[in-house]
Amino acid sequence: MAERPNFEQSGQAHVDFSPSSDGPSSSNSAPAAPYVLQTRWEVVKQLGQGGMGTVYLARDLRLSNRLCVVKRLRVDFFREEDRQQALAFFQREAMVLSSLKHPNIVLIHDYFEEDENYYLVMEYVEGENLQAKLVDSGHPFTEEEVVEWAVKVCEVLHYLHRHNPPVIYRDLKPSNIMVDNTGTIKLVDFGIARPYAEESDNTHVVSGGYSPPEQYWGGADPRSDLYGLGATMHFLLTGVEPLALQTSSPQQVNPRVSSRIDRVVQRATSQDVWLRYQTAMEMLAALKAESKSNIRKVPLTVLILAGALVLSALIFAAVSLVKQPTRSVTEGTIETRARSTDTLPAPKSKKGESKKVTAMAPQPAVVVDTPQDRKPTDQQVLTPPSPPAPLAALVPASESASNSAQPDHLPLDAAMPDNREESSTDPEGLTPLGSH
């Protein structure tokens, strides 16, 4: 038989509805396309062929001719034992898919037998698988794209592993991850997926480079799917197939891969199952934590600069506060003194008469002057008394003889300057000194 392309590596973006003469190739070959199955599924064209069967593009004649995929089990095995095993896988795929409802898992529409052939009808995903997509681009994907896809696959694996009963995918690789035209990923080909039971014997089905060591002797468990995801990330980051039974390190092939993601891949592909991530959620948390660590670097630098600016502002404010109280106390003292003079009571004479005192007129609080700087005004006729002068300086020489008979202690008025305001009659009955 001529070698045909592997349907798992074939893109489905381009659809040709012209009839194809490439009908199913088997001992019980079906008629050439187009032909109708179960009076509903119109087979249009063959998309590809794999080890377990052949895949066709079809239309649903009952629901607006929507596109779908018809998978036909291969029956031309040399040994009956191989045929029975293939049939068991095919039926198990139908059983597993029928119980799964997840936006990132291909849906199953029907399963039936017709003319000794077994068919599985599934959702059609218009797009490419990741292996074909990388080959078409000619270069590895960016780390951000790979991490985004890996996060979605972790969510799917978490759903499968927590299903009742748990489902082990066992064939996680780039060719089984489809990306549709909207960027949504879909897991396809559940041919060797199976319900997980620790006591059961597992079939030895492997994909070189993507299967963990325990799967070679049939010991697959949920951690085996995480190994396949790590190996898939290695291929998507480097464009190089991972080596079988070896821990993958994409950074050794592609230096642009960060050390953080390289550590994630190395742990996921550890040969010791107990050194790997133990659950899909644990690996999911690691992927998200690693992606967030890149975002924290920039804000941390900004916070350091902002902290330095705040510290400088606090030091400047502290210096200003140290100087401010000294100026405030000085101004407050002067203002207090000015206000205190405004409230002094007017001096009274012995008879209770208040004398007019204008020298202590209130001054604005903002104007501070000293008594030495004040100039006398017309109203300010009373000045502070000067120190007492010698008696000889107050009495003329011509009158010194007559004044010698006066008492030693002169009245207070005799020592006061002549420029003060005084009434014509002295209330004490004393005669001014100049009247003698």
Just list the catalytic residues. Answer: 171
User: How many C-beta atoms surround the C-beta of residue 117 within 10 A?
Assistant: 18
* CA 194-200-202 angle, 5° bins: 55
Considering only CA atoms, which of 90, 15, 13, 76 is closest in space to residue 45?
Answer: 15
Q: What is the CA radius of gyration of the chain?
A: 53
226: nearest Cα among 266, 191, 198: 266
Structural contact between residues 31 and 13, judged by C-beta atoms closer than 8 angstroms: no
In contact, 161 and 280? CB cutoff 8 Å: yes
What is the CB-side half-sphere exposure of residue 257 using CA atoms within 13 A?
26
How large is the greatest C-alpha to C-alpha distance in the chain, in angstroms?
A: 169
Strand, helix or coil for residue 422 = coil
DSSP state of 354: B
Would you tell me how many other CB atoms lie within 10 Å of the CB of residue 236? 24
**What distances in angstroms separate CA 232 from CA 50, 228, 331, 367, 398, one per listed residue?**
20, 6, 80, 86, 133
Going by C-alpha positions, the residue among 249, 253, 288 that lies closest to residue 269 is 249
3-state helix, strand, coil in the chain (%, to 5): 40, 15, 45
For residue 66, the cross-strand partners are: 60
CB within 8 Å of 244: residues ≥ 6 apart:
208, 209, 211
AA letter at 396: P
